[in-house]
Structure formats: C-alpha cells, structure tokens
Amino acid sequence: MSRRLATAAKLGLAACHLCGLVSKVGRLEGNSLCPRCGAHLHLRKPNSIARTWALVIAAYILYIPANMLPIMQSGSLFGAQADTIMSGVVYLWTSGDPPLAVLIFFASIFVPLAKLLSLSFLALSAQRHSAWHPRQRTRLYRMVEYIGPWSMLDIYVLALLVTLVHFEALASITPGPGAIAFASVVVLTLLATISFDPRLIWDPVTAEKPEDD
C-alpha cells in the first residue's frame, strides 16, 4: 500500500516568515496570524513567481546601461575621463594588476548575469511545475543566495576611490550613471532571490512521489 508524502503544506502548517514559528493555517490562508508575532501566515509566498519574474526582467533591462554607461567619472588638471566597468577591468589588466581585474570582472559582470540566468531558470522550472533534479535546483538557489552580496564589490571599490581622491585638491572622482544602474541591478537581484519561494521546487516532487506504508 502506498500513500502520498506528508508535507507541512498538506498538514496545514506554515512557518512564520518573521519569527519562524510553525503554526496551523486556517481555511482562509491570508487571514491566519502568527500567534507569537502577529504576522500573516502563508503556506507559500504570495505571488512568488510573478514577483520574481518582475524583478528579474527589470534587472535584465538595467543590466545593459549598467555595463554600457560610465560607472566612474574622474577629473584632474590633465583632463577628464569616464570609465565603464569593462574599461576599468581592461585598465587594471594592462596596468599590471590582473588579479584585481579578474576579481572585478567576476564580481561585477559575470556574477550578476549568472544570478539573473539562474533565477530565470528557477522561476521558469517552478512555473512549469518541473520535477527535474529538485536537489540540484535547491543547491543552485542556495548558491545564488550566498553570492548575492559579492555583486556589490564594484560599488565598494568606487566608494573607496572617491574617499581617497577627495583628499587631493586637484583631482576628483564621482559616480557615473552606470553606478546607479549597476546598484539597481544588485538590489533587484537580491529582492528577486528573496521573493522566490524555494519550496515551489519540491511541490511537484511531493505531489508525485509515493511512500511505502
């Protein structure tokens, strides 16, 4: 004899997204409140896939100006210069600092794009109720969640340069429009990661997989 796997959602149990307390959810899911902190209880994050897609698409749109527009504008007695992320990477490489160039390229160009592609794959597979390799997809989500703050490395470097150069009266460095777009991409991908509910990865699996009695 076989039966369906018993999950928290099937038992009507939900973990509070604020304090983590597991509580019983009533028939009207949105009206159930956490007995400890009073937050609304949900078996799954409301509109998780739709919100994730909205944030990911917005990040894709801003990813183009983030890499095409100047991220840093510098000026001195010798003239002015505007640098994009890629031109900064090339300058660091040719000026004899390849490790820093590789680090900036990886954290500021490769990581944001990899996060966007990963989130797109996770959202699409969850939307199509795919049961394909749920463990690997869960690991992918954890990886995206872990490497999120590394995308801010370029902004940290820019802030440090601005602070250092301001000590010199004859030189100035200011953030360019690309910095705003880049920071927006980072924030949007972080919000998309938070909006995605990884439990959606396992819902098709637990709905199909029987358990021996």
Nearest to 77 by CA among 170, 198, 193: 170
The two structure tokens encoding residue 155: 């902004």
Residue-by-residue DSSP string for 31-69: G-B-TTT-PBP-SS-TTHHHHHHHHHHHHHHHHHHHHHS
How confident is the model at residue 137, as a pLDDT? 94
How confident is the model at residue 124, as a pLDDT? 96
CB 67 within 8 A of CB 85: yes
* Alpha-carbon gap, residue 85 to 28, rounded angstroms: 49
How confident is the model at residue 188, as a pLDDT? 93
| The residue type at 181 | A
Q: Among residues of the chain, what percentage have pLDDT more than 70?
A: 76
How confident is the model at residue 63, as a pLDDT? 93
How confident is the model at residue 53, as a pLDDT? 97
Q: Is pTM beyond 0.85 here?
A: no
Q: Radius of gyration of the chain from Cα atoms?
A: 23
Q: Among residues of the chain, what percentage have pLDDT more than 90?
A: 27
Confidence at 213, pLDDT banded by 50, 70, 90: very low
| The residue type at 169 | A
Confidence at 1, pLDDT banded by 50, 70, 90: very low
Q: What is the pLDDT of residues 67-124, one digit of tens each?
A: 888 877 765 556 566 778 888 788 778 877 788 778 878 888 888 899 999 999 999 9
Return all residues near 54 (Cβ < 8 A) that are at least 6 apart: none
How confident is the model at residue 76, as a pLDDT? 59
Residue 194 has pLDDT above 80, yes or no: yes
1 or 40, which is more confident? 40
Element (H, E) at 75: strand 72-76
How confident is the model at residue 210, as a pLDDT? 41
Q: Is 128 helix (H, G, I), strand (E, B) or coil?
A: coil
92 or 58, which is more confident? 58
How confident is the model at residue 49, as a pLDDT? 95
How confident is the model at residue 169, as a pLDDT? 52
Domains of the chain: residue spans and CATH: 1-43 (no CATH), 46-207 (1.20.140)
* Alpha-carbon gap, residue 97 to 72, rounded angstroms: 19
